[in-house]
Amino acid sequence: MNKILTLLWCCAALLLASCDSGNIHEEMATTTREGLTVRMTGRLRGAESWSDRYQVVLAAFADGSDYTLVQKEIPSQLIDGDSVNLVLSGVPSEANRVQLCVVDRVRERVATFSDLKLTPKMFERTRDTLRFDVGRSNVGMYAVVEDHLFDNLCSKCHGTNGHAAAGMDLRKGHAYAATVGVASRLNPEAQRIVPGQADNSWLVRVLTEGNEGLTHYKDHTLILNNERDSKYFTLLKDWINAGAKP
């Protein structure tokens, strides 16, 4: 009789175990992340230069939006010129591009380093991993300041066609030497950029609303104080306060 009871108890235990196993597999299946998977490779440098207000990420965006749908941070300690192999999964169907970019604390895109355009056909084969090779990229903080602010917005008057207003050449490759630790021509007692001190930097003062009378051109305060470019003014000040490193 004892043998029969023991046998019945073992059978019941096996049935319970198989039921538990079924529930676990079902839960695992429902938590599997859907969407595209993108594998980015490349050699990056400069990510360690960003302050904690920003992140260098691999991220997906919907058309017309500057805010990430999904993102994955690129660890700065792993990419100091070394090769990077990073996977972003769960890219939703509303995304139309994946980018290597920098975002701020609210996940708004500040600048893009490399771009991969997505097509509807790519979402028909979500089991495949898309390859995204970004090559060699400088993702440093100053690289964005130089490209998007100095060269793109300022060099038209400061350096292009051989003319540098106030003797300040803000073209790419020249801007750093013309600003950091350099005295202003209009106010020799002030430096154009004082590392670590944005509020004491002459360039920041000239670009700040309410200071229209500091230079001969009163429109300087309009350059960055608008919805499209205000993030670059914030970036400039953050870069200076972080030490204004090249």
CATH value at residue 128: 2.60.40
More confident: 160 or 62: 62
The answer to whether residues 132 and 40 belong to one domain is yes
The answer to whether residues 11 and 50 belong to one domain is no
Pair of tokens at residue 51: 């302050």
Range of the domain at 171: 143-241
Band (2; pLDDT cuts 50, 70, 90): very low
The answer to whether residues 9 and 78 belong to one domain is no
Please say which residue of 123, 139, 155 terminates a domain: 139
pLDDT at 57 over 90: yes
Q: Per the domain annotation, does 28 fall within a domain? A: yes
What pairs with residue 71 in β-bridges?
A: 59
Q: Per the domain annotation, does 186 fall within a domain? A: yes
Q: Per the domain annotation, does 204 fall within a domain? A: yes
- Whole-number mean pLDDT of the chain? 83
Please say which residue of 115, 139, 163 terminates a domain: 139
The tens digit of pLDDT for each residue in 185-197 reads: 989 999 999 999 9
Pair of tokens at residue 104: 């701020």
pLDDT at 210 over 90: no
The answer to whether residues 221 and 160 belong to one domain is yes
Q: Per the domain annotation, does 109 fall within a domain? A: yes
The answer to whether residues 65 and 149 belong to one domain is no
Q: For 135, left (φ over 0), alpha (ψ -120 to 50), or beta? A: left
The answer to whether residues 85 and 55 belong to one domain is yes
The answer to whether residues 133 and 225 belong to one domain is no
Please say which residue of 95, 114, 139 terminates a domain: 139
- Sign, CA dihedral 194-196-197-203, equals positive
Q: Per the domain annotation, does 56 fall within a domain? A: yes
Quick check: 191 and 199 in contact, CB under 8 A? no
More confident: 151 or 81: 151
Q: Per the domain annotation, does 246 fall within a domain? A: no
Quick check: 61 and 109 in contact, CB under 8 A? yes
CA distance 226 to 134: 31
pLDDT at 56 over 90: yes
More confident: 76 or 87: 87
Q: Per the domain annotation, does 213 fall within a domain? A: yes
pLDDT at 150: 92
The answer to whether residues 46 and 127 belong to one domain is yes
Tell me the pTM. 0.79
Quick check: 42 and 82 in contact, CB under 8 A? no
pLDDT at 179 over 60: yes
Pair of tokens at residue 204: 């920041």
The tens digit of pLDDT for each residue in 121-164 reads: 999 887 889 999 999 999 999 999 999 999 988 888 888 877 77
Q: Per the domain annotation, does 59 fall within a domain? A: yes
pLDDT at 104: 96
More confident: 1 or 47: 47
What pairs with residue 103 in β-bridges?
A: 55, 109
The mean per-residue pLDDT over the stretch 212-241 comes to 77
The answer to whether residues 148 and 135 belong to one domain is no
Distances (CA, A) of 86 to 69, 79, 110, 116, 140: 17, 11, 21, 14, 18
The answer to whether residues 113 and 26 belong to one domain is no
- Stated length of the chain: 246
The answer to whether residues 28 and 40 belong to one domain is no
Total domains in the fold of the chain: 3
The answer to whether residues 55 and 130 belong to one domain is yes
% of residues, the chain, pLDDT over 90: 61
- Residue carrying the six token digits 């009871």: 5
The tens digit of pLDDT for each residue in 162-176 reads: 777 888 899 999 999
What is the number of helices (H) and of strands (E) in the chain? 5, 7
